[in-house]
Amino acid sequence: MAQWLLVRHGETEWNAEGRMQGHTPTGLSDTGVRQAGLLAERLSNTDLSGIYSSDMTRARDTAETIVAGRHIEIHATSDLRERSYGRWEGMTRQEIRDEYPQEYALWRQGTEQFSPPDGESLVDVLARQSRLTEMLRETYPGDQTIALVGHGGAFITLAVSMLGLPLSMRPRFHLSNASISVLRVSADGVVLERWNDISHWEGKL
């Protein structure tokens, strides 16, 4: 049974300000850099058969910190990107609510087909994630450990889908920056082993 580590990127300034990031290439804040370093310490003795990262700056920088000095190639892919929020990127939830009240209400309902203006629907996100997960299942069918470095909202969508849960369950899941979650993946199904583990940095920043 393969072990998939879902690693959310370290904090950014926009995370701290509560701004939608989506496909905007934000970088790590000073706190995020320290979080990435603590992630690297936590995973230093983990034998990784592969590491895959969103190609967004904040995720790629987190992945590079994790494997620094380990001679492990990072496979960067747009399939692990956060959901695109289009014209909402850079805005806070309150700003979205004020400027796009009808669209905001539809978004909060969690409708799978809803897309923010110029953004992606959950169906779009699942389509690109499915391409990657199918490839990973074929590439790592045995007792191997791989790390996926990406984004909170996208990882929640991925995990809920792989666990066979309805997407309406998404609001019941939360992922902190620089957290580690673990899925056990086999031909028989997927088991959630750990969720939102931040013990490697909590209280240390």
pLDDT digits (tens, 9 = 90+) for 49-82: 999 999 999 999 999 999 999 999 999 999 999 9
- 7: which DSSP letter? E
Q: What is the mean pLDDT of the chain?
A: 97
> Which token pair is 182?
């673990």
Q: Can you tell me the mean pLDDT for 128-152?
A: 97
Segment holding 35, helix H or strand E: helix 30-43
Residue with tokens 């957290």: 179
How much is the pTM? 0.97
Q: How confident is the model at residue 9 (pLDDT cuts 50, 70, 90)?
A: very high
- Which residue in the list 41, 71, 82, 103 is annotated as catalytic? 82
Handedness of CA 151, 152, 158, 159 (dihedral sign): positive
Which candidate, 175, 130, 135, places its Cα nearest to that of 153? 175
Active site residue 23: no
Average pLDDT for 125-139: 96
Task: Report pLDDT digits (tens) over 86-98.
Answer: 999 999 999 999 9
Per-residue pLDDT for 121 more than 90? yes
What percent of the chain shows pLDDT beyond 70? Answer: 100
Q: What angle do CA 144, 148, 151 make, to 5 degrees?
A: 160
DSSP bridge partners of 147 = 5, 51
Statement: residue 103 has pLDDT above 90: yes
Burial of 195 (0-12, 13-18, 19+ CB in 10 A): middle
Q: Which two tokens stand for residue 103?
A: 């669209």
Sign (positive/negative) of CA torsion 47, 184, 60, 180?
Answer: negative
pLDDT band of 122, cuts 50, 70, 90 = very high
pLDDT for the residue numbered 111 = 86
Number of helical (H) and strand (E) elements in the chain, helices listed first:
7, 6
Is 11 among the residues known to form the active site?
no
The residue-averaged pLDDT of 123-129 equals 95
CA geometry: angle 3, 43, 1, nearest 5 deg: 10
